Amino acid sequence: MKKLALHWKILIGMVLGIIVGLLATYIDGGKGMIQDWVKPFGKIFINVLKMIAIPLILAALIKGVSDLKDISKLSRMGGRTIVIYVMTTIIAVTIGLVLVNIIKPGESITETTRTEMVENYGGKTKKYKEEAKNQDNKGPLQALEDLVPSNIFSAATSNRNMLQVLFFAVFFGISLILIPEEKGETVKKFFDGLNEVILKMVDLIMLAAPYGVFALLAALVVESPSVDLFKALAWYALTVVLGLALMIVLYNVVIYVYTKKSPRFFMNGISPAQLLAFSTSSSAATLPVTMERVTEHLGVDEEVSSFVLPIGATINMDGTSLYQAVAAVFIAQAFGMELALDVQLGIIATATLASIGSAAVPGAGMVMLVGVLGYAGIPEAGLALIFAIDRPLDMCRTIINVTGDATVSMMVAKSVGKLGEPHVKNWDDNYNK
């Protein structure tokens, strides 16, 4: 009997998690049981993925840069990667703004609902406002200053310092290219071997993915706010999800037109990473799986994937930027504000820059949204309006972030002649051995 493919196993785990979570809400002590005995396994699963994120980036990016053997090739690939990432982010923000102005979800928020949510989530709003204020107090070149780590070991202890780790890895890889090949051979072999070990760790971790997402979804359901609040925000959620769905369509069209690969081929190849992104709400935690799927199942040469994907997990947040645009206008509509065209055009630039600076971890988009609201003059207390449904939408927009990374990696690979046939013909042979 043929074993189920990995993405089906993950999907079953998600569905069962939701069902068990719903049943637990109707049982006395059910919520506590899920929180005490099920949720910890979900946290362990995320922690294991985060545990290998930094080693993976260091090993894969150093290997990827050193394999180029030519600085001009690195410059060419890097330039194309950044340009495409910025373009897809601008498109995502524009789609969000168009939809939110057509659907106008904020007009369905009543004064009673608004007051209730501000009271319930006012404390969390204050926390995110304070974090955003700390960022506003930084100088104009602070982002450039923060790019260079004073201590790489300190930077590597937190997944929030991905840019610093990326800087070190690229710098290290370039230096490895510039020294005589025979002197760098031992170092290069070490990182080649380290990269293989980490990828095998990913294979082993993915065996537990269905159980990890089961625990994550069950905990999310029992901890969700009241159903009434979700109903009040249904139009807002619909707007965001519709925008995210359009981005998926766009990615598939681009893949078909530019690489001649079918949407079925692309979606089958990346689906396990998408499902994991949905469960973890973290591009960084999903990065190991994204790299494995893109390389083994979509035919992107490891030289390209090991360079493009770590950068994408850090700066390419199409789903986050779309959400920020929709959320900003939604809150303005809820407060009865009319945003002029020039303000909304400014939101495109602000949301694009904010998404680039957003950490690849759950909830980071909420912090960056404060900056977008501040630019547009929208009351920051309006953040409370979207807290109730932010977590499920965070899960959805992380799918777009990961899918966008995979799309760009295929485009860059095609442009440099590094897109071939997948290494694994049967989508899940490496997991079902």
Inter-residue contact 17 to 217 (CB < 8 Å): yes
pLDDT at 124 over 80: no
Neighbours of 269 (CB within 10 A): 23
**Is 379 domain-assigned?**
yes
341 vs 215: CA distance, rounded Å: 44
pLDDT at 246 over 80: yes
Is the pLDDT higher at 360 or at 381? Answer: 381
CA–centroid distance for 299 within its chain: 22
pLDDT over 70 percentage in the chain: 73
Q: Which helix (H) or strand (E) holds 84?
A: helix 71-103
pLDDT over 90 percentage in the chain: 18
| Range with the poorest average pLDDT among 58-62, 241-245, 259-263 | 58-62
Q: Which of 57, 134, 356 is nearest to 364 (CA)?
A: 356
According to the model, what pLDDT value does residue 427 have? 42
Range of the domain at 142: 6-432
According to the model, what pLDDT value does residue 431 have? 42
According to the model, what pLDDT value does residue 433 have? 41
**Is 391 domain-assigned?**
yes
Neighbours of 180 (CB within 10 A): 7
360 vs 376: CA distance, rounded Å: 24
Is the pLDDT higher at 107 or at 269? Answer: 269
According to the model, what pLDDT value does residue 91 have? 92
Angle at 26 between CA 21 and CA 31, to 5 degrees: 50
Number of H helices and E strands in the chain, helices first, is 20, 0
Mean pLDDT estimate for the chain: 78
328 vs 365: CA distance, rounded Å: 12
Is the pLDDT higher at 140 or at 401? Answer: 401
In this structure, the chain runs to a length of 433
pLDDT at 256 over 90: yes
Q: Which of 199, 258, 246, 250 is nearest to 410 (CA)?
A: 258
According to the model, what pLDDT value does residue 361 have? 46
According to the model, what pLDDT value does residue 378 have? 72
Give Cβ neighbours of residue 392 (< 8 Å, ≥ 6 apart): 220, 237
| Range with the poorest average pLDDT among 84-88, 127-131, 217-221, 266-270 | 127-131
Q: Region 276-281: what's the mean pLDDT?
A: 82
Convert the pLDDT of each residue in 159-186 to its tens digit: 556 667 778 887 888 888 888 888 888 8
Q: Region 32-50: what's the mean pLDDT?
A: 85
Most confident of 48-52, 270-274, 366-370: 270-274
Is the pLDDT higher at 5 or at 207? Answer: 207
Is the pLDDT higher at 330 or at 248? Answer: 248
pLDDT at 12 over 90: no
According to the model, what pLDDT value does residue 365 have? 58
286 vs 268: CA distance, rounded Å: 16
Is the pLDDT higher at 61 or at 403? Answer: 403
Is the pLDDT higher at 154 or at 16? Answer: 16
Q: Give how many domains the chain has, as a whole number.
A: 1
According to the model, what pLDDT value does residue 227 have? 52
State the helix-helix crossing angle for 283-297 and 387-415, rounded to 10 degrees. Answer: 30
With cut-offs at 50, 70 and 90, classify the pLDDT of residue 359.
very low
CATH number for 169: 1.10.3860.10
According to the model, what pLDDT value does residue 411 have? 93
Give Cβ neighbours of residue 160 (< 8 Å, ≥ 6 apart): 359, 361
> Which contacts of 34-39 are long-range, i.e. CB under 8 A and separated by 24 or more positions?
34/218, 34/219, 34/222, 35/219, 35/222, 35/223, 38/214, 38/215, 38/218, 38/219, 39/215, 39/216, 39/218, 39/219
According to the model, what pLDDT value does residue 99 have? 93
According to the model, what pLDDT value does residue 109 have? 66
pLDDT at 140 over 50: yes
**Is 68 domain-assigned?**
yes
pLDDT at 318 over 50: yes
pLDDT at 396 over 80: yes
pTM above 0.75, yes or no: no
Question: Tokens in use for 193?
Answer: 């071997």
385 vs 221: CA distance, rounded Å: 19
**Is 1 domain-assigned?**
no
Per DSSP, helices labelled H in 137-180 are: 142-147, 152-155, 162-178
**Is 174 domain-assigned?**
yes
**Is 263 domain-assigned?**
yes
69 vs 178: CA distance, rounded Å: 8
| Range with the poorest average pLDDT among 130-134, 148-152, 226-230 | 226-230
**Is 128 domain-assigned?**
yes
